[in-house]
Structure 1
């Protein structure tokens, strides 16, 4: 996916999260392990969000590979350590499709 398309999907995901009571903490957080698209908080839980877009839910969600998930978790651990965060957290995905947007919570389960 091109960077421009990725940015559009991330903007849509941020709007969706805001509409659903999340607060956007940071976007595009990098570590040497990888990148977190969006860090959001809701109800005192920090959400590390991977944004995926595609023509269908299946195609989009399949792009979250074990390797991608591992990088997300390592980057989140670096972020929490650096920021002294020790509260609750969750790894989620926001799937941006042509007609809908869905959030998938706890993608590590």
Structure 2
């Protein structure tokens, strides 16, 4: 996927989160382990969000591999330590963006 398409999907995911009452804390947080597309909070819970897009749901969801999820978790841990968020509730989410729909999958695991 081109960077432009990825940026467009992230913009749609960002707007979706705002519409659903999330407060976006940071975008494109990087560590040596990887990048978190969006970090947002709602109801006292921090959400580390991976955005994936494709022409349909199945193609996009296949791109959330065990390796990708592991990098998301490690990078989330770096963010928590860097910001001294020792007692913060958090979860790892995915937002799937297709031309017609957006799905928010909360608390994804390996």
Determine the structure 2 residue equivalent to 1:21: 21
Alignment of 1:1-109 (within 5 A): 1-85=1-85, 86-108=87-109
Gap regions ≥5 residues in structure 1: none
After superposition, the C-alpha distances for 1:80-100 in whole angstroms (9 at most, x for unaligned) are 000011210010000001101
State the aligned residue count: 109
Hey, which bits of structure 1, 4+ residues long, moved more than 6 A? none
Gap regions ≥5 residues in structure 2: none
After superposition, the C-alpha distances for 1:43-92 in whole angstroms (9 at most, x for unaligned) are 00000000000111111011000000000000000000000112100100
Question: Normalising to structure 1: TM-score of the pair?
Answer: 0.97
CA RMSD of aligned residues (A): 0.8
Note the C-alpha offset of 1:3: 1.1
